[in-house]
Amino acid sequence: MIKPSKRVAAREQFFSVLFALFLREIKTRFGERRFGWLWVIGEPLLHLFVLLTVFVFLSNHMMPQVPFELFLVTGLIPYFIFQRAVTGLMASIDSNKALFAYRPVKPIDTYITRLILETLIYLCVFVVIIFGFGFFMGLDISIYHPLMTLGIFFVLLTMGFAFGVIASLIVDVFPTAKIIIKVLMMPLYFLSGIMYPLWIVPSQYLHYLQYNPIVHLVELLRESYFSHYPVVNGISLLYPLIVTVVALFIALYFYRFRRFALAAKP
């Protein structure tokens, strides 16, 4: 038998660890309650359903360009993916600490597993809701520029990963920061242009809002989803891309320094 080179072995090990962690995380979540498998998708689905119902009935936004329901979903899903990525990654060291006793398991494996899992859950929710709208309400749910949509999602995930890793590194040194980060995530909900179109924001405030890279991604996602979505001035892919690359660099740079400390006992 030919002995595999070290490189191949390392890659195989990486994927077998990811696979093992993924199954473990899914099984753990499934097993928590009766019909656990239903809740993995059901809980976020219900959450979104309630939000949608409330927003649609309470708001009187008239949007001739796009159906308001779809407008909301295309904002809520990216927001939740980002938010769950950051909070999930932040908690992943704590909840997996005991596993680092098994040498092949590295902290970054648990980050990646969480990111994949949360993304898959919310993409499933997205698909279910969108098809629900198409089926029951007869809305046109076709995506105008699918490749662009996919690309935006990818940038969003990378950004969520980077900020999640940074959050996890901070929390590992200062455990109380967890609360602060969670509190900081809350206004993001209102500052990301999820529930309102950007063009109703007065121009003197719009400028500040655009410091939030998620605003750009949400707007671009909608532009790629709907055929005639009016994007306000100043929205660009370049800004969130730069933020993502810089954040990813910071995250991986400090991860490299802290990778053994993260895996060590408290």
Partner 1 sequence: MIKLDRITKSYLLSGGNRHYVFKDLSFTFPEGANIGLIGPNGAGKSTLMNILGGIDIPDSGKVITNKSISWPVGLSGGLQGSLTARDNVKFVARVYGYRAAELAEKVRYVEEFAEIGEYFDEPIKTFSSGMRARVTFGLSMAFDFDYYLVDEAGAVGDANFKKKSMAVYKQKLQSGNVILVSHNMSEVRSLCDHIVVIYGGNAHVFDSVEEGIKMYEEIRTVQ
Choose the binding region for partner 1 from 53-61, 82-90, 101-109, 184-192 (rule: CB under 8 A). Answer: 101-109
- Helix boundaries (H) for the chain: 6-31, 36-58, 68-96, 107-136, 146-173, 177-191, 203-209, 213-225, 238-263
Q: Rg for the chain (alpha carbons), in Å?
A: 20
28 binds partner 1 (CB under 8 A): yes
The distance from CA 236 to its chain's CA centroid, rounded to whole angstroms, is 20
Cα separation of 164 and 251, whole Å?
A: 9
Pick from 11, 27, 47, 207: which binds partner 1 (CB under 8 A)?
Answer: 27
If one asks whether residue 101 binds partner 1 (CB under 8 A), the answer comes out as: yes
**Using rule CB under 8 A, residue 174 touches partner 1:** no
Q: Which of 58, 98, 173, 238 binds partner 1 (CB under 8 A)?
A: 98
If one asks whether residue 116 binds partner 1 (CB under 8 A), the answer comes out as no
DSSP summary character for residue 5: P
| Stretch touching partner 1 by CB under 8 A, among 58-66, 100-108, 150-158, 231-239 | 100-108
Told to check if 238 binds partner 1 by CB under 8 A, we report no
With binding defined as CB under 8 A, does residue 255 bind partner 1? no
**CB 113 to partner 1: min, Å:** 12
Dihedral angle of Cα 140, 126, 116, 154, to the nearest 10 degrees: 40
Q: Which structure tokens are listed for 14?
A: 């990486």
Is there a contact between 198 and 215 (Cβ–Cβ < 8 Å)?
yes
Residue 32 near partner 1 by CB under 8 A: yes
Q: In this complex, which beta carbon is closest to partner 1, that of residue 246 or of residue 264?
A: 264
CB of 97 to partner 1, least distance (A): 8
Work out whether 265 is an interface residue with partner 1 (CB under 8 A): yes
User: At closest approach, how far in Å is the CB of 27 from partner 1?
Assistant: 6
Q: Which of 8, 11, 19, 233 binds partner 1 (CB under 8 A)?
A: 19
d(CA 79, CA 84): 8
Which position among 3, 6, 7, 103 is part of the footprint of partner 1 (CB under 8 A)? 103
What is the Cα–Cα distance from 116 to 92, expressed in whole angstroms? 13
The H-or-E segment that residue 234 falls in is none
Q: Give the whole-angstrom CA distance, residue 111 versus residue 18.
A: 10
Min separation Cβ 85 and partner 1, Å: 22
Six token digits for residue 204:
């003197």
**Residues forming the site for partner 1 (CB under 8 A):** 12-13, 16-17, 19-21, 23-24, 27-28, 31-32, 98-105, 260-261, 263-265
